């Protein structure tokens, strides 16, 4: 912890995980394709990350980057991925299920929690697309979800409004479910987020745009040459702000 604040870093590669632990993160959320919002990492990525780091690793299980209302076949894959990742050392699974009307899918969420426990069951920022946060949070509590990652609907760019929502949710439900602020956390706003929410943990990527030199020959407007990665300098700067934060 830094200044009694638990730090979770969103990682998309082995190198990201190594950087996160080097900068004294407490927990990793492991994904692949951060530039797509984070997808299910391979088992090999997880086992290799466990080899080079010692802090807990929770894995995202998400088969596609758009939406959270899945077909039966996609749900079957999600359950299988969760079981496989847990069997290979995942300390928790991050997921999200919605019905077609945008409400929490209680049946699938309960099934997923049952699959994950006793490891941690974490609902992802899909939560922020629901209309009634209190009702949605109560559903997650009833389903046995351990933690929810949320930006309060609008932490970034409307920092104050999002943090006000988060602060109210933490005050009312924080003893029943962990509420993890995350989304747009940067050096210049992390203290304000912590101050407004009164949260005791925070999630961040501290990302920058990395480039693969082999793509330089394809540098056209139609070819992507960069990808998201955790920046050690950005993460250290955010950590410094958290260390200096007056609670």
User: Do the domain assignments include residue 74?
Assistant: yes
User: Do the domain assignments include residue 94?
Assistant: yes
- pLDDT at residue 155 in the model: 45
The residue ranges of the chain whose pLDDT is under 50 are: 155-156
Number of domains within the chain: 1
* Count of Cβ atoms closer than 10 Å to residue 104 Cβ: 26
> Residue 35 belongs to what domain range?
6-244
Give residue-wise pLDDT tens across range 142-196: 999 999 999 887 544 577 888 999 999 999 999 999 999 998 899 999 999 999 9
User: Do the domain assignments include residue 1?
Assistant: no
User: Do the domain assignments include residue 220?
Assistant: yes
Report field, pTM of the whole predicted structure over 0.75: yes
- pLDDT at residue 158 in the model: 73
* Residue 93: CATH number of its domain: 3.20.20.380
- What are the strands, taking DSSP E only, across 68-199? 92-95, 120-123, 147-150, 178-181
User: Do the domain assignments include residue 116?
Assistant: yes
User: Do the domain assignments include residue 40?
Assistant: yes
- pLDDT at residue 224 in the model: 66
User: Do the domain assignments include residue 228?
Assistant: yes
User: What is the residue-wise DSSP string for 7-58?
Assistant: EEEEESSHHHHHHHHHTT-SEEEE-B-GGGT-BPPPHHHHHHHHHH--S-EE
- pLDDT at residue 215 in the model: 66
**CA distances to 85, 96, 155 from 69, in Å:** 22, 9, 24
């Amino acid at each position: 912890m830094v200044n009694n604040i638990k730090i979770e870093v969103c990682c998309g590669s082995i190198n990201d995980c190594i950087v996160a632990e080097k900068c004294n993160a407490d927990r990793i959320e492991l994904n692949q394709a951060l530039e797509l919002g984070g997808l299910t990492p391979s088992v090999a990525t997880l086992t290799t990350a466990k080899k080079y780091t010692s802090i807990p690793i929770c894995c995202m299980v998400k088969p596609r980057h758009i939406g959270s209302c899945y077909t039966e076949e996609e749900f079957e894959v999600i359950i299988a991925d969760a079981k496989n990742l847990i069997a290979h050392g995942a300390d928790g699974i991050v997921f999200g299920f919605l019905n077609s009307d945008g409400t929490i899918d209680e049946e699938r969420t309960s099934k997923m929690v049952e699959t994950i426990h006793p490891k941690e069951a974490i609902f992802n920022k899909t939560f922020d697309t629901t209309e009634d946060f209190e009702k949605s949070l109560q559903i997650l509590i009833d389903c046995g979800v351990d933690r929810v990652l949320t930006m309060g609907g609008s932490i970034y760019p409307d920092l104050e409004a999002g943090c006000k929502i988060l602060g109210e949710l933490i005050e009312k439900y924080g003893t029943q479910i962990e509420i993890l602020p995350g989304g747009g956390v940067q050096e210049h706003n992390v203290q304000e987020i912590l101050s407004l929410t009164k949260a005791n943990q925070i999630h961040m990527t501290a990302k920058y745009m990395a480039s693969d030199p082999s793509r330089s020959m394809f540098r056209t407007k139609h070819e992507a040459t960069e990808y998201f990665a955790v920046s050690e300098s950005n993460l250290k700067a955010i950590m410094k702000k958290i260390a200096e934060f007056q609670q």
